Structure 1
Amino acid sequence: MQSRIAVLGSTNFIERLKHFEHEMPFIRLDYYHYNTPKEAKELVKNIKPCAAVFFSGSLPYLYAKKERELLPVPSYYLKQDSTSVATTLLATCHTPIHQISMDLIEPRLVESVLQDINQTAAVPFLMQIDPAFSLEEVVSFHINLQNAGKTKLAITSVHAVYESLMQSGIPVVRMIDPKNSILKAIEETNSLAILAKSEASKIAVCSILLDQEDSSSATSLNKVTNSIDASIVKVDDLLYMLFTTQGKVQLALESNVVNSWFDLFSTPVRIAFGYGTTVLEASENAKDALRHATKNNIYLMNQEKQLTGPLLQNETKIDLRTNDPRLVLVAKETKLSPANLSKIMQFSRIHHSVEFTAHDLEVFLKVSRRTTERILKKLSDHGYASIVGEEMTYQQGRPRAVYEFNFPTY
């Protein structure tokens, strides 16, 4: 199965990447173009479900900081290093180095490269850029130097600056990102995606100690079990252990589902979570965390034996109103309720893969198969979901369709 990575970059960067993307057969790239790095903030909001997000440079990565932190998947960026500086200077060696102007993130890289090749007698005119830079200021830096006769060539790290200088008739080239550097950075992004999936799929055990058991306890415990897709075992008269994954628990904590558990019981309960790489390790950590838990409180112990608690309890994140214009359009066309859309987006955030089956969604939504298929049909009919394959994990019957969402769910 291919790992799906969203790539945010300039048109030039993306077109170049397309020429050698075939060299990464196990990675599928989805492209999002921007004209200036600042547009990356809005592009992040349009990203469809993926395993990770890759930025073509540090500027768009920094501009989209707040938006990135809301993503349920890891993000990475192509770092401008001494290899890119050396490659670019080599490609422009026909121009004396003291007649070159350069804008880049870290000017010290140029000094380092020149020292390595023992060429420190002359240096280019350098301008450092950061997220606070003005596009016009950078353009003026290059133009003023050429108009004054001090330089004959501009080297820029920003595609928008390149376009502006070209329109002004100023000799300019882009900073070159070596092919190997790009491939290595995308492979690193994929490694982060694999690690994130691995962490989310690790074992989690929830210990629930009842103050006393009554006629409603079984129903309450069943609701708790279903909310994190767990299996349950009764340890003794009042102690139960639920087995699930860290990803399921993390979502339940972040969306305040766990906080609502206390309202299900007529008497106080103590709750503790344990993480681990094995069932035994997670179970022991859950038991140790439970010793610290007080009534109607939650503690968590991870595989490093770090105890956290009492855990913060925030307001629920199930949206009953849709304000985002894109989601308003989805709701209007599919006739799906805002609550269902919110749940579908939560499912997309926590599901271990971009691809899923109707059964996966059915289990998460806790509705009938017919209702799930009706939801998927509405999404598919309007292009918001599509069938990308099929699976058959049993001997008889028809294979299951494998879907993926085609609208932003993050």
Structure 2
Amino acid sequence: MDTQIAVICSNEFAKRVKTIETELSSIKLQYYTYRNPQEATALIGQIKPCDAVFFSGSLPYFYAKKKCEELPIPTHYLKQDGTAIATTLLALTNRGTTLQEVSIDITDPNIATGILEDISTNEFPWMYKIEPNVDIEEIVKFHYDLYQNQKTTQAVTSIHAVYEILQKQNVPVIRMIDPRSSIIKGISETKNLAILSKSQSAKIAVGYIQFESNREIQINELGQFTLLFKTRLIEVERNLFTLFTTQGDVQRIFEYLSEIQWKRLSDTSFKLAFGYGSNIEEATQNAKDALLLTKSNTAYVLTEHKQLLGPYPKYHRCIELRTQEPVLVEVAKSTSLSPANLSKVIQFSKYHTANEFTAHDLESFLQVSRRTSERILKKLVDHQYAEVVGEEMTYQQGRPRAVYRLNFPTYL
């Protein structure tokens, strides 16, 4: 079966790709074209069912990145590599153009600098680094001003919209050359991402539903769960049921499940846990482990990589139950903190808006008791992984609260 890929690009790029479609094995392309890369965001909403999305460059991808994160399929973009830059520079020199008289906008000027240094040339073009969400008018002005001030005789742009504007302004301009090999490689990588995503989604997922009730739960009370997961529930023991589905179905359900839909599942309090694994035994064990960590009326997913996802439906956090980073291994070893608690502290650090915080802040985020949060902080302070940097008094009576700051890497 062919892999269906949506291509978001300029008209010129679409024409270029169509000339090499026959070289793309088992791939069908759908084209969605723009005049300005900023239109890429709107084009996401026009995409018909497909297996992946491919962008013609980094700029349209960055404009549409937030929308892409909402998609259930993988996205990829054509990276501007050394081949594209070297090919373009070679074409210029073959035409007799002096590189010192060239202005060029590229995503990574260091690549161009490295290529030119490797060939021991003393000629370097004027370069503009394309940042995410850059204003196209700034790039146009960069090329136009250099040409008007007679510092350049040739502009090279990576953006078709800039090309069109400079042409209207009578600035000599060419487009960055995207080699056939780079385009084929980029689209083939997108196909591989689509295949990988499908294979991951099809992997087994084992679920457990545990009802917290003294009375016997009847089969007819499980109708909402059966409808939601589209599978039969099997009673394991009193008020404990298991189900078998796929990782893809679990991900899709929790991605779109609202709190209102969640509350409608059962009038009786329950816990829901899923386990992923490379085989049914591993998935089952992970589901059992996740169930032990699940609180009333919430759900957790434990992956084969020992990542605890949840609690659903309200939060979509990822807690690492296995520590592999050497720095974090040392922190866990020194403080005797579990990988789960250490991962929660790191998650808190990333989401907390200030560098300083109180035990109350940590308690609120972790949804634990004050005693637990203070015990975690004491272990970190005792081993110099956190420090007390002040106090705050937000009330008239009682002891002031200590203000803390973490003292180990949290962006790993």
Q: Under a length normalisation based on structure 2, what TM-score does the superposition of the two structures give?
A: 0.71
Q: Deviation at 1:107?
A: 1.7
Aligned to 2:97, what secondary structure does the other structure show? coil
What is the distance in 2 between the residues matched to 1:280 and 1:164? Answer: 61
Q: Deviation at 1:294?
A: 3.5
* TM-superposition CA deviations, 1:49-97 (whole Å, max 9, x none): 1111111011111111211111111111111111111100111112111
The corresponding residue for 1:79 is 79
* TM-superposition CA deviations, 1:83-126 (whole Å, max 9, x none): 1111001111121111211122222222111011111x121122
- 2:177 is aligned with 1:205: no
Aligned to 1:6, what secondary structure does the other structure show? strand
Aligned to 1:4, what secondary structure does the other structure show? strand
What is the distance in 1 between the residues matched to 2:208 and 2:282? Answer: 13
What is the distance in 2 between the residues matched to 1:132 and 1:295? Answer: 43
Question: How is 1:1-40 mapped onto 2 (pairs within 5 angstroms)?
Answer: 1-40=1-40
Q: Deviation at 1:261?
A: 5.4
Structure 1 residues 57 and 237, CA gap change in structure 2 (3 angstroms)? same
Residue segments in structure 1 that go unaligned for 5+ positions in a row: 315-410
Tell me which of the two structures has the higher relative contact order, counting C-alpha pairs closer than 8 angstroms and 6 or more residues apart: 1
Amino acid at match of 2:211: L
The corresponding residue for 1:220 is 221
Aligned to 1:141, what secondary structure does the other structure show? helix
What is the distance in 2 between the residues matched to 1:150 and 1:70? Answer: 45
Aligned to 1:133, what secondary structure does the other structure show? coil
Q: Deviation at 1:271?
A: 2.0
What is the distance in 1 between the residues matched to 2:104 and 2:68? Answer: 29
Question: How is 1:319-338 mapped onto 2 (pairs within 5 angstroms)?
Answer: none
Q: Deviation at 1:233?
A: 2.1
Q: Deviation at 1:132?
A: 4.5
Q: Deviation at 1:222?
A: 3.4
Residues 82, 112 of structure 2: 8 Å contact kept: yes
Q: Under a length normalisation based on structure 1, what TM-score does the superposition of the two structures give?
A: 0.71
Aligned to 1:310, what secondary structure does the other structure show? strand
Question: How is 1:291-302 mapped onto 2 (pairs within 5 angstroms)?
Answer: 291-302=292-303
Structure 1 residues 263 and 34, CA gap change in structure 2 (3 angstroms)? closer
Identical residues among aligned pairs (%):
45
What is the distance in 2 between the residues matched to 1:150 and 1:265? Answer: 72
Structure 1 residues 299 and 104, CA gap change in structure 2 (3 angstroms)? closer
- 2:108 is aligned with 1:102: no
Aligned to 1:235, what secondary structure does the other structure show? strand
Structure 1 residues 259 and 141, CA gap change in structure 2 (3 angstroms)? closer
Residues 216, 265 of structure 1: 8 Å contact kept: no
Aligned-residue Cα RMSD (Å) equals 2.2
The corresponding residue for 1:313 is 314
Structure 1 residues 39 and 108, CA gap change in structure 2 (3 angstroms)? same
What is the distance in 1 between the residues matched to 2:260 and 2:247? Answer: 17
Q: Deviation at 1:209?
A: 2.0
Q: Which runs of 4+ in 1 moved over 6 A?
A: none
The corresponding residue for 1:281 is 282
Residues 52, 73 of structure 2: 8 Å contact kept: yes
The corresponding residue for 2:161 is 160
Amino acid at match of 1:105: T
Residues 32, 43 of structure 1: 8 Å contact kept: yes
Amino acid at match of 1:303: E
The corresponding residue for 1:399 is none
* TM-superposition CA deviations, 1:240-270 (whole Å, max 9, x none): 1110111111222222268745544453323
Q: Deviation at 1:221?
A: 1.8
- After TM superposition, the structure 1 stretch with the greater mean CA deviation from structure 2, 163-172 or 250-259, is 250-259
What is the distance in 2 between the residues matched to 1:285 and 1:78? Answer: 38
The corresponding residue for 2:408 is none
Question: How is 1:138-149 mapped onto 2 (pairs within 5 angstroms)?
Answer: 138-149=139-150
